[in-house]
Amino acid sequence: MAYSRVAERRFYLLFILLIFGAVLLGFSRTFFLRAWFPEWVELHAPKEPFFLLHGTIVAAWFVVLIAQSSLITAGRVDLHRRLGTLSMGLAAAVLVFGVAAAVIAARRPTGFVDVSTPPQVFLAIPLLGLLQYAVFVTLAYLKRGNAQTHKRLMLLASLSILSAAIIRWPVELIYAPSPMPGFGYYDLVALGYLLPLAGWDLTTLKRIHPVTLYGGLLLIAMVPLIGLISQSNAWLAFASWVIGA
């Protein structure tokens, strides 16, 4: 390959840190720094203690992902592989606790915090987002012997749940109406994280890697598709059954 492995490993580590930075910014007031924002927590954070556990598990996923990339950067492939088992266990926990959190929120009399959309409709966003996450993580595990495919799938798995953090950024533009039908500004920002990955592919491979291309297209297509699904009679019937409405 024309590029050095050191440069590649540094790129992926920096990219993961950039993703985690988005998570820190989004959940700083309601989770990471909640002790410093008591008024914000009172108005905008879930009241159920379960969500603190849910947040801890998701944060742990990103921390382990950083650790995994750091081990590769340091040349400790052996420890990276050992920690892989923990990564998959955390991925399963993210999925299980994420689904539980979505259902708990949807079953509240007031629905999801700071969301005016009916809970039966909005429930499609977290549940189908977690479905994408599960698909990417499963494929990453199955392709763990192919480093180039594996690492891209792990990044796409993280990007599939990133909009939950970005919509909570303390930036007014995030909440403004988007010029693209079917996409919020938070969706556009989350999908914008595909650009550095595509740029890296074009710089190093002279083409976009198939995982980046097709996985990225899936992430893009799923945004309006989830919107359509959430309005369908079949989804509303399913969501009402899940919520018990």
Residue 76 confidence class, pLDDT cut points 50, 70, 90: confident
What's the predicted TM-score (pTM) here? 0.92
pLDDT of residue 88: 87
pLDDT of residue 195: 96
- Is the model more confident about 3 or about 181? 181
What does R_g of the chain's alpha carbons equal in angstroms?
18
What residues does each domain of the chain span? 5-243
| Mean pLDDT across 16-20 | 94
The residue with tokens 């590769």 is: 72
- Whether the pLDDT of residue 188 is over 70: the answer is yes
Q: Over pLDDT 70: what percentage of the chain?
A: 98
pLDDT of residue 2: 47
Question: How far, in Å, are 57, 171, 211 from residue 89 at the CA level?
Answer: 11, 34, 23
On the 0-12 / 13-18 / 19+ scale of CB atoms within 10 A, 107 is middle
pLDDT of residue 79: 78
With contact defined as beta carbons under 8 Å apart, do 189 and 177 qualify?
no
C-alpha–C-alpha distance, residues 71 and 15, integer Å: 15
| Mean pLDDT across 78-99 | 86
